[in-house]
Amino acid sequence: MNMKTALLFPGQGAQAVGMAADLAAAFPACRALFDRANAVVGYDLAALCFAGPLEKLTLSCHAQPAIFVASLACLTALQQIHPGLVFAAAAGLSSGEWTALHVAGVLSFEDTLRVLEVRGRAMQAACEETPGAMLSLLGMADDALVRLAQQTGVDVANYNSPEQTVLSGSCAGIDHAEKLAREFGAKRAIRLNVAGAFHSAGMASAAGKLEEFLGGVTLAPPQYPVVSNVTGQFHTTPDEIRRLMVRQVTHSVQWVGGVRTLQAQGVQAYVECGPGKVLTGLVKRIDKQAALYNIAGHSDLEAVAALAGPQDEPWHK
């Protein structure tokens, strides 16, 4: 089979105790990623991923680096089993966009870990400084969504699929939006179990801290296309990447636009590397013809063999 294929990487919320443990046990290269990560973060990230506790793993400052390393372990194991696989582009949701940028050679493994630790810590602090909430809405038109957000003083956080969008903001604003959702055409409104108002103005302090830290991080041009959550288009220069990755903390995630950009480039298959199946689930609602694969553990590796074959360029290793 010869299909143009994109890599997908999950963000915070995908964490699960035990993630990538079987891969670290089976592949020395995967275990080495965790050993390198332990040295960078200064604590046993591997033990936290493999054994928890979940409450500690779920903290933003731990979850974001942990999901990054677990996702890379999934990709590394896949490359060990199927070295002939190549990929045409990459995308990640929220913190997962940093994983995609690392894989495309934009920044080093160590720098990505440091960025995600700073980003996660800053977001956790913002949640504590400015309590907030998020609301998932099903079956709502985009224009009605924007009007609801404006009327209740909250932000549109995620355009996840044509059927599902997410609002983010103050607890009072989200309470108000939840009460008005059906009046604005939502089929369902679901309060999300999150620490705060991610991808909203409530994360402004976190964006500022990330911007300051990124000033000292070296970024290179992406060696392969990576989709921006902010624009839904491909990243370009290191300076633009730096600006957009700061904006991403407070800006709507344009996941639908990003998948459509990949479709326009001829992508027909997607491989989600990391815990969970959220991203391929969202892609299925946007591109109903796409071939979808998930690599979360050892048992998933053989299913991707059908994709082996020449495509465009070997993926950066």
Q: How far apart are CA 302 and CA 78, in angstroms?
A: 9
User: Given the structure tokens 């309060």, which residue do they identify?
Assistant: 191
CA-to-CA separations, 289 to 260, 261, 311, in angstroms, rounded:
13, 15, 19
Distances, alpha carbon 136 to alpha carbons 158, 167, 178, 181, 195, in Å: 9, 6, 9, 10, 15
| Token representation of residue 33 | 């990623």
DSSP structure class, residue 275: S
Strand-strand pairing, 5-9 and 155-159? unpaired
The active-site residue out of 94, 170, 228, 252 is: 94
Annotated catalytic residue, options 102, 199, 235, 298: 199
Q: Which two tokens stand for residue 151?
A: 């009327």
Which two tokens mark 270?
């997607």
In angstroms, how far is CA 279 from the centroid of its own chain? 8
H helices of 162-221, in order, are 171-180, 204-214
Can 199 be counted among the known catalytic residues? yes
Active site residues: 94, 199
